[in-house]
Each structure stands twice: as structure tokens, then as C-alpha cells.
């Protein structure tokens, strides 16, 4: 009996060792190297918005003269993509073939959605109005965005560009609508506006021809920003007190990801195929911090880069399947675009089911940093938010 008890105790110790080993391995925080995407000596203000699985990055730079230039960062070099004849251009997304979408001014100052596949930008056209913008692209080259139609109210119609044809997807029952992302399964996300006066956005997922509302976190507005190949969606939604919180939509459930400790607001901008989410959150001192949400925990990315880097990371906007993260922050008092590359081998598990997601409010989010916001949303009145 004694021998049996010892064997049982040994087995229990072994199981406990395995559990603790796995738990500690999962809890290891990923750390990163950081790369300034701006060429040496340049003083432009930069914003990185998208990254593909090859590590190519897109975004835009603002020159000292106030001109906005779409860029592609590849092989360690930032290259300006030009425009469709106007002054300003923005690059919003890139697929794994290196094809880029965004918007650009044309010679008369109007804006057009563009596609870049090498060579000059391609004008995707409009529905007869003065504005269009492309916001997402998948690996099949399908592009989503929105375009204004002529009329007194200048309503926005969502579009899908596929097979060299710009398809009008309409307004999904609202007065205007935008499609903001598309995955490799052809699932679309976006949002529509119920009326011209309230201005609240309601997010949706379009899959196999059927539209599904993502719901809200108790407030009046939900904005869908990104979708992965499993159909998981991230963005931000208003809570009952009118503050935006980052969300993850998974398995038909909308989950509040919370904020960094002491914070009241957060927004999610990107998700990869491992379910890792990036975005921005304020903290107890109200300043913005770029965050990574992984394994049920929201972490302040400023805690995961070298302490002497000089960077203050304010917004993380996209993450690829290698775990590389892009966004913008402050370096030497200037707004710069960054690329974070993982350097430690942390365990990456499958995304947690929606009913097991842990709010981040009680998780150690790190020390405060002094930074200015470059988020693309603005409060227009109590409880109401919109993109710039």
C-alpha cells in the first residue's frame, strides 16, 4: 500500500509539474524589437495602418508642407506610392501578394479609391459621386470600401470590387453604409447608419449572402474594423455610459475586452488568424497606450519593448500571423510609424471561446507614458463618436 501511495503521489506531482509548466509557458509575455519605419533624417509624421504576412507595411506620411503621401514599407525601405494626380493619398490595407488599397485625390481635388499592384495607382472609380475609398483587400484581390452617390444628402454606399467590376452593395437597410474589411473566405464586415441625424454606426457581418448584426455592448454604436479568416471580428462599441470599448466578436457573441488598468476607453483595430488583437486604450492617467490582447489578457505594449528605446507607443493598428505589429507612437517628440517583431518564443494558443474571454481591467498594464493621440475617431457629443 505504501508503494502504491508513493506511485500515486509521484504521478500527482508529475501532473502538477506539467500543469504548472504549461501555465507558466503560456503566461510568458512576448517581447519585441522595434523598428522606426521613417527613413533616417526624415521628419515627416507617419501612421502605419496595415501589414501582410511577409512583413510589408502600408500607411501614410505627412510632410512638413502638410502633404499626405501613401507609403509601402518593404525590405527595410519606405517607398511613396504617389497619387492619382492630386496632392494627398492614403494606403489602408495590403494583401499577401503586396497589393495595396487606399484612396487618393485626383487633379480636381476629389478622392478616389485606388488599387496598387505595381506601377501607377489604379482608379477604382465611384458611383457618380465625388468620393470613394478602399479600406480592405483579401488574397483573392477582392476589395471593399465605400463611395458617395450623387444627391442632396450624398449617401455612402458600400462596395465590393471584384473581377474588375465595382459592385454597389447599397446601404443594408440604413441611409448609408461602408464595408471595412474582407477575409480570405469572402466574408465582409462593415457598418451602416440608420438615419442622417443620429449618426450612430451599427456593425454587421455579411457571410454567404446573409447579413448578421454584431450587436452592441449596451450603447448605441458599434464599429467593425477587422476580420480574420475564422470570421472573428474586432472593433469598438459604446458601453451604456457612452465610452467606447474594444470588442471581439466570435462564435456569434460580442465580448467586451475591457481596458488597461484604470482606463475607461479602448479600441481594437486588428486581429490575426491566431485571434491576437491589437489596438489602443487609455489608463488611469488617461493617456493612450498601444495594446496586445492575447490569451485572454490585454497587455501594454510599452512594457514589451526595450526600456531604453525612447519610444512611447500610442496605437497598434494591425498584426500579422507572425505576430508582427504596426502602429504609431512618439519618438523624440515626433509621431512615427513603428514595426514590432517578436523576439521571445511565447506560447500561442487557439483563441478563447467567447464565454471564456477575460476582461483586461485587472491585468497589470504597465507604467504610464506621455503621448499624444492619433486615433482616427473623435467624440462629437456625449455618447457619440465618429471617425475623423
Q: What does the block give as the cell for 94?
A: 495590403
CATH number, domain containing residue 234? 2.120.10.30
Are 167 and 126 in contact, with CB atoms under 8 Å apart?
no
Answer whether residue 122 is part of any domain: yes
Q: Could you give the number of structural domains in the chain?
A: 1
Answer whether residue 355 is part of any domain: yes
pLDDT at position 43? 67
For the chain, the straight-line distance linking the first and the last C-alpha, in angstroms and rounded, comes to: 74
C-alpha to C-alpha distance for 38 and 35, rounded to whole angstroms: 9
pLDDT at position 352? 44
Residues of the chain with pLDDT under 50: 1-27, 346-388
Q: What does the block give as the cell for 168?
A: 454597389
The pair phi, psi for residue 302, each rounded to 5°, is -65, -20
The pair phi, psi for residue 180, each rounded to 5°, is -115, -15
- Residue from 222, 170, 173, 169 nearest 200 by CA: 222
Grid coordinates 519610444 are at which residue? 311
Q: What domain range includes position 307?
A: 31-387
Are 233 and 227 in contact, with CB atoms under 8 Å apart?
yes
Give tens-digit pLDDT for 97-118: 999 999 999 999 999 999 999 9
Answer whether residue 80 is part of any domain: yes
pLDDT at position 154? 74
Dmax (CA) for the chain in angstroms is: 91
Strand arrangement, sheet containing 334-342: 32-36, 334-342, 325-331, 311-319
Q: What does the block give as the cell for 223?
A: 464599429
Answer whether residue 381 is part of any domain: yes
Please report, for residues 8, 238, 240, the alpha-carbon distance to residue 383 in angstroms, rounded to integers and kept in the order given: 59, 7, 9
Q: What does the block give as the cell for 116?
A: 496598387
Question: Please, which contacts does 293-297 make with residues 24 or more away whose CB atoms are closer than 8 Å?
Answer: 293/246, 293/248, 293/257, 293/268, 293/360, 294/30, 294/348, 295/26, 295/348, 295/349, 295/352, 296/352, 296/356, 296/357, 296/358, 297/358, 297/360, 297/363
Q: What does the block give as the cell for 210?
A: 446573409
Answer whether residue 14 is part of any domain: no
Answer whether residue 68 is part of any domain: yes
Contacts of 120 (CB under 8 A, 6+ apart): 82
Answer whether residue 9 is part of any domain: no
Q: Which residues pair with 143 in a beta bridge?
A: 137, 161
Instruction: Please state the pTM of the whole predicted model.
Output: 0.83
Answer whether residue 99 is part of any domain: yes
Are 323 and 344 in contact, with CB atoms under 8 Å apart?
no
Q: Which residues pair with 168 in a beta bridge?
A: 159
pLDDT at position 38? 85
Amino acid at each position: 500500500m505504501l508503494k502504491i501511495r508513493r506511485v500515486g503521489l509521484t504521478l500527482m506531482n508529475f501532473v502538477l509539474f506539467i500543469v504548472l509548466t504549461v501555465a507558466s509557458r503560456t503566461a510568458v509575455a512576448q517581447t519585441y524589437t522595434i523598428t522606426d519605419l521613417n527613413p533616417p533624417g526624415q521628419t515627416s509624421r507617419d501612421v502605419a495602418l496595415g501589414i501582410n504576412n511577409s512583413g510589408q507595411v502600408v500607411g501614410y506620411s505627412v510632410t512638413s508642407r502638410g502633404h499626405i503621401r501613401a507609403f509601402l514599407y518593404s525590405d527595410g525601405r519606405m517607398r511613396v506610392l504617389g497619387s492619382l494626380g492630386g496632392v494627398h493619398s492614403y494606403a489602408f490595407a495590403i494583401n499577401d501578394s503586396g497589393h495595396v488599397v487606399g484612396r487618393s485625390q485626383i487633379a480636381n481635388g476629389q478622392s478616389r479609391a485606388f488599387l496598387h499592384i505595381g506601377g501607377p495607382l489604379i482608379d477604382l472609380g465611384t458611383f457618380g459621386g465625388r468620393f470613394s475609398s478602399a479600406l480592405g483587400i483579401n488574397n483573392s484581390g477582392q476589395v471593399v470600401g465605400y463611395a458617395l452617390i450623387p444627391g442632396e444628402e450624398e449617401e455612402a454606399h458600400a462596395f465590393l470590387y471584384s473581377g474588375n467590376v465595382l459592385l454597389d452593395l447599397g446601404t443594408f437597410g440604413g441611409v448609408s453604409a461602408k464595408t471595412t474589411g474582407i477575409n480570405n473566405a469572402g466574408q465582409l464586415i462593415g457598418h451602416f447608419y440608420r438615419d442622417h441625424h443620429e449618426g450612430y454606426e451599427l456593425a454587421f457581418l455579411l457571410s454567404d449572402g446573409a447579413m448578421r448584426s454584431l450587436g452592441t455592448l449596451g450603447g448605441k454604436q458599434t464599429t467593425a474594423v477587422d476580420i480574420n479568416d475564422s470570421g472573428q471580428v474586432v472593433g469598438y462599441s459604446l458601453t451604456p455610459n457612452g465610452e467606447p470599448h474594444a470588442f471581439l466578436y466570435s462564435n456569434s457573441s460580442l465580448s467586451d475586452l475591457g481596458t488597461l488598468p484604470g482606463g475607461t476607453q479602448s479600441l481594437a483595430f486588428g486581429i490575426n488568424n491566431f485571434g491576437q488583437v491589437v489596438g489602443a486604450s487609455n489608463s488611469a492617467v488617461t493617456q493612450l497606450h498601444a495594446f496586445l490582447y492575447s490569451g485572454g489578457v490585454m497587455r501594454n505594449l510599452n512594457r514589451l519593448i526595450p526600456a531604453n528605446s525612447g519610444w512611447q507607443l500610442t496605437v497598434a493598428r494591425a498584426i500579422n500571423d507572425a505576430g508582427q505589429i504596426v502602429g504609431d507612437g512618439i519618438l523624440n517628440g515626433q509621431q512615427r510609424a513603428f514595426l514590432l517583431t517578436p523576439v521571445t518564443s511565447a506560447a500561442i494558443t487557439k483563441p478563447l471561446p467567447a464565454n471564456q474571454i477575460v476582461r483586461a481591467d485587472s491585468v497589470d498594464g504597465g507604467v504610464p507614458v506621455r503621448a499624444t493621440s492619433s486615433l482616427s475617431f473623435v467624440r462629437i457629443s456625449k455618447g457619440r463618436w465618429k471617425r475623423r
